Chains A and B, each alone.
Chain A
Amino acid sequence: MTERTEDGREDAAPGEGSSGARGTSGDISGYTMGLALAALLTFLSFVVADSEVIWHPAIPAALIALAIAQMGVHLVFFLHITSGPDNANNSLALAFGVFIVVLVIFGSIWIMGHLNHNMMPMSSATDQRMFKSPL
């Protein structure tokens, strides 16, 4: 399943994991660790969303941070994408994917936010409520 590269290491397919390293697809403890971490992060997300203690405007930022952490856990422990040299191709493809995703989502929110801001004021109160800023 693995292929030697020029520097003597082996290429790993996504989902396969680094050869010999922790987190290969034959390793139950890797999946269990991933499940525990993901469950913990999910639990924290629900606690934060319901929290009355945390300063309210900080809650979305905390939720996004927890979600990104959990996606990282899924990538490493379930999909076995690592930063190792045998995973360079997989990580580079992932980096490009993340780049496009960030461009599409934040570009849309940014542009549409400015368009709403620059629109002529609406006549009725109902119409104004239709275009509340997304953030």
Chain B
Amino acid sequence: MTAPVAPRAEANMGDPYVLGRNVNAGGEEDRSEGGGASKSIVTLYGFWIFLLSDIVMFSGFFASYAVLVGATAGGPDGSSLFELTRIKLETGCLLLSSYTCGMSAIAATRRTLALTEIWLLVTGLLGAGFLGLELQEFAKLIAQGAGPQRSAFLSGFFALVGCHGVHVVAGLLWLGTMMAQIWVKGFRADVMRRLMCFSLFWHALDIIWVALITIVYLMGHAR
């Protein structure tokens, strides 16, 4: 079974430098046929890597919460503190805002300015509604003496849920900036890239919220 081997390939066999390189390109610098990836792909891929690293950071907060959830130090536990009605409203706000964020991305690809701005505004209002409900919950907990200093469980709770809330605040600031930039600069290529990155960010926040209601609120309620 001796298959005919091209002389060039035979000569380079065993040289690890050559492996995987296009040696037939006639001395050209090695790169894929179409050149490098376009800027929008490179930017969005880089932002995707950032989002994943952000999720890895969140996993640390989730891990500390899961370890400390039983450490109530004689204080209140989740099932006596969490109000599921509020959580349902918060989840509804965030899920709908994810949808409207997708609608604004579609409107932007179709270059319809008014629709893009309106959907972004609705996204922002829903996000603000979510944030209002969450801050109200925090204020209520602190007022009844269940603040972050009460027990390790509550420290973990405020750190985890608060970290998500801080991300939503950052998202809202970014959203306002995007509305202004689209209004002033129009659908330029760089503005579009930023808008797509914002869209990814907002959807990723919703994914973290799904993990959060399950591990913190629903499992705390069912405990």
Measured CB to CB, the residues of A under 8 A from B are: 1-6, 11-16, 25-28, 31-32, 34-35, 38-39, 42, 45-46, 48-50, 56, 59-60, 63-64, 66-67, 70-71, 74-75, 78-79, 89-90, 93-94, 96-97, 100-101, 104-105, 107-109, 112, 126, 129-135
Contact = CB atoms under 8 A, between A and B. Distances in A.
B169 interface: no
Binding site secondary structure of chain B:
helix
B127 to A, nearest CB: 15
A32 B45 CA distance: 25
Ranked 3 nearest A-B pairs via Cβ: A132-B70, A97-B52, A13-B44
A67 B213 CA distance: 9
Interface residues of B, number: 61
B48 interface: yes
B219 interface: yes
Contacts of A66: 214
Given A64-B214, A108-B67, A11 B41 contact: yes
A12 B43 CA distance: 12
Interface of B: 32-34, 37-38, 40-41, 43-45, 47-49, 52-53, 55-56, 59-60, 62-64, 66-74, 84, 88, 91, 95-96, 98-99, 102-103, 105-106, 109-110, 152, 196, 199-200, 203-204, 206-207, 210-211, 213-215, 218-219, 221-222
